[in-house]
Structure 1
Amino acid sequence: MIARPVLIHVQHLLGIGHIARAAAIARALAASGVETVVAHGGFPNPNIDFGGAHMEFLPPVRATDASFQTLVDENDEPLSDDWKARRRDQLLALFDAVNPGVLVTELYPFGRKSLRFELEPLIARARGHDPGTWVICSVRDILVTMKKPSRYAEMADIANRDYDRIMVHGDPTVISFESTFPYPERIQHLLTYTGYIAQKQNITTVAGLDEVLVSAGGGGRSEPLYRSAMGARALSALHDHTWRLLIGHGLPQDRFDVLADEAPEGVIVERARPDFTAMLDHCALSISQAGYNTVTDILTAGARSVLVPYAEGGETEQTLRAKYLVERDLARMVEEPDLTPQSLAAAVESALTLNRPDVSGMAMGGVAETVRLLTDWTSNPPKREPSRKR
């Protein structure tokens, strides 16, 4: 077992994928007896369960849109230097109080550049700590394509300077991290694949039985999908099934209320539910965006699906993931610019011809493998070459 605490830094700015993965890891670590502390930088989400981990909620920050260019605080004000300093100091005080043997940063250095004001001091504190603190990156399988190619070299520089290991939560036989990172040779010695972070819930529910489930993760940028789904039901081969729209808390209540009021007969509109993965087990079809966690849940449940990858603001990650699945007849896809009730209904009909996805050949045990790797690595202090010191 890991002797000293694990401190996980996680920040979601728009969706909820990052905190969902971090929560799965935190739950497993805490369940194994490891003191686990999560520095949570976003707005709390009632459907995310961190289990027995201790939560430290930093002053929350979010992105105003998909460009991630503007971050705002809990009062929807741009981040001031004073605000940044207060949050940085709270994070450093947390590190000192926890005295972690492991610091895990979710995504960084492969994203979250806008949080360098706190992450660079945090990592410097960890690397200068005695006894040694392991510095480990936790990252999904696919990176967003960078507009500036120089950013990839910068990521590699930071990884080599500051990190002891990079855990990629994927399966290289499915899609390799290196396929979206153009300098794999520079970080190969740090990379370890854990398999996908997928956990079956120990929940029994009759909700969703033989229904069409329509979901979009946190839901903040999801209205076009939900509106198209409401229009597609009457046009589709599943027009006689209940369609259930599960809307995340990222969609403001007033807009949720409008959707609920406009829902036609046969369409249920409700907030996202904690039993979503159990509902997938017996649904007729899933219609969703193509984020990491949603796709992993769909594959684990063996549900037929139509994916509408989120692509606003130059986002590429979900489209790449969806195309991989379509190429292997594991799903059908409607690209966001082509989304209409008609195109969605046609994709539904096509998806019904698919076999249920079989993931027996994929590494889906990423939660247990992450705990095992952290336990193995941290049985000794980190070994660092002098050239890698700050």
Structure 2
Amino acid sequence: MENQNRHFETLAIRTQAEQSDFREHSVPLYLTSSFTFEDAEQARALFADEIPGNIYTRFSNPNNTELIEKLCLLEGTEDGIATASGMAAMFTSMAALLRAGDHIVASRSVFGSTHQILTQILPRWGITHTYADLDRPESFEAAIQPHTKMIFVETPSNPALDLIDLEWLGKLADKRNIILNVDNCFATPYLQNPARYGAHLVTHSATKFIDGQGRVIGGAILGKKELIKEIRFFARHTGPSMSPFNAWVLSKSLETLAVRMERHCANAHALAEKLLGNQEVEWVKYPFLPTHPQYELAKKQMRMGGGMVTFELKGGIKRARRFMDNLQMLSLTSNLGDTRTIATHPATTTHSKLKEEERTAVGITPGLIRVSVGLEHIDDIWRDIAQAIAHSV
């Protein structure tokens, strides 16, 4: 059966590295730093990139290759590389393709560490940026300069859950001959495929929903073959490679991504509706709530609304901190995408390095709570949140 005729769930499960002579059913771990050559000529040909094969695990490894092959099939991209972390993916996708004097247009609402790359690290090499607003698409076109090389967006964004029309953005990028780089971490390949709307690169923190159980760190850069070739050269010589063990874990995790995301989304949608009806809540944001300002867009380009919910309690930051302190079951951690439901206060943790006016500009209010909704029973999730709200008055 051809891969293009197989469904997402089947591709995630049945895409595997070639069996060894032991005919294992589950792909083994290839915990080796290097690979041997049959003879001098094969070694020469491998180093000259004349034939496929493994040389050194910093370059490639069967576990990493399987993970990337699977992710490319699920995202609909031509090629990709695995990286040691999500932030290694974000940085490498920029640093490998940008030069001194280049310019990036980025969504204002990005993860805190991505903001630091854009504002503190890339400027050291003469690479500048301009922020644009996801809810004002025209601001992206207005921000483009003659030396703009890349557009970088998160959609849905972290943590404000804002979106942008990927089809419109893809057409803009092609018209202006600019690389479109989309962080698809919150949606995962199961809910959204930016490459089908014109994205040239799709980046992931695989640490989140792709792993799904808070076990390992990893990232991925997927996209056009000619771009990945340049990115692979950069990564091969700078070393942000993923370990074979993490690749093995993440490839196994993809086998259950579809069924996990179905439950994440069902729980998150139910939680958002319950919060919407609570008198102590100022507002609730979830892409598949009709009250979300970009609800129709979410329905157009996402299969479901995702596993993240944000809300604000009446009483601001003091009330938010009391709420966090009164949670009994939910985990307090900065991670997300876990089987366990997680509550985070972005203003004092993940986005604390932003100035107050920068947080305000991207919708991170002092009392905003970000909930990564897990796989527990929704009644138990709501019971803990409801009692924490009641005890935080």
TM-score by length of 1: 0.32
